[in-house]
Structure 1
Amino acid sequence: MITDNIADTLTRIRNANLVRHQIVRVIKTKITSSVVKILKEEGYISKFEEVQISNKQYLLLCLKYHSQKRQPIITGIKRISKPGLRIYVNKNNLPNILNNLGIAILSTSKGILTNTKAKKLGIGGEVICYIW
């Protein structure tokens, strides 16, 4: 049984990128669905779809690579807030990932957002992960 679905999702994406897999399957929850939608909007994955296999919901993610040498678009993923240690930031201390070349995903009162959208709305929240 998985206790941290977000960490499991990020680890599956990281491992699939390392071995240059095209498709990765992750467990579907509300938070993982929101994180995957953000990855799609920000251009880190090409598409995703929901599937049901033996009464369990999954998300199939199609990872993106640079065309010539199949270098992955996602070069790093880091889980920040963990179940044992929650990391919160206010609107003044929002993270800046590689001078805005990467994104931070936050759980806010307005839902799951990136650091740039949270800065525009002027809200803080729990830092879920960094992606660059």
Structure 2
Amino acid sequence: MSLSDPIGDMIARIKNAQVRNHKKVALPSSNFKVKIADILKSEGFIKDYKIETENNKPTLSVDLKYYSGNPVISTFERVSKPGRRIFSSADSLPKINGGLGIAIVSTPKGVMTDIEARKQKVGGEIICKVF
């Protein structure tokens, strides 16, 4: 099956799993998704992630995180979509909920949070925002 937006699919699967209070969610793996999962883990939005091989296809297994029974991720939405790419310079990167959330940005120096991109003074494509 061909997906037109694999990152959007990842976001939808994580959101749907959290609504159903699942502990884990499995999704097709790619290097880009692994980088996003790594950022989510380092920022404390998920517990952990693993790359497993199932039927010779890599699968990304994400352990979701809850606090007092509620999901840690309250908002997880795609900003730049395949039909409408959103780019931003380092100066105009958005602050998500007054700095409490993060924006994941794809820059020439790699995938990073908006905070890291501002520190390195590099802009790029705003992939999604997490709060």
Quick one: percent identity of the two aligned structures? 38
1:115 and 1:81 map into 2 onto residues whose CA distance is: 14
Query: Which residue of 2 is the match for residue 107 of structure 1?
Result: 106
- Provide the alpha-carbon RMSD of the alignment: 0.7
In structure 1, give the amino acid aligned to 2:55: S
Local SS of the residue matching 2:50: strand
Determine the C-alpha separation between the residues in 1 that align with 2:31 and 2:84.
21
Cα deviation per residue 1:59-78 (whole Å; 9 max; x = unaligned)?
Answer: 11100001x3x100000111
Distance in 2 (alpha carbons) for counterparts of 1:36 and 1:96:
20
Rounded Cα–Cα distance in structure 1 between residues aligned with 2:78 and 2:43: 18
The equivalent residue for 1:72 is 71
2: CA distance, partners of 1:22 / 1:100:
27
- 1:46 maps to 2:47: yes
1:1-132 matched pairs, under 5 angstroms: 1-66=2-67, 68=68, 70-132=69-131
When normalised by structure 2's length, the TM-score is 0.97
Secondary structure at 1:98's aligned position in 2? Answer: helix
Moved over 2 A (4+): none
Partner of 2:125, secondary structure, is: strand
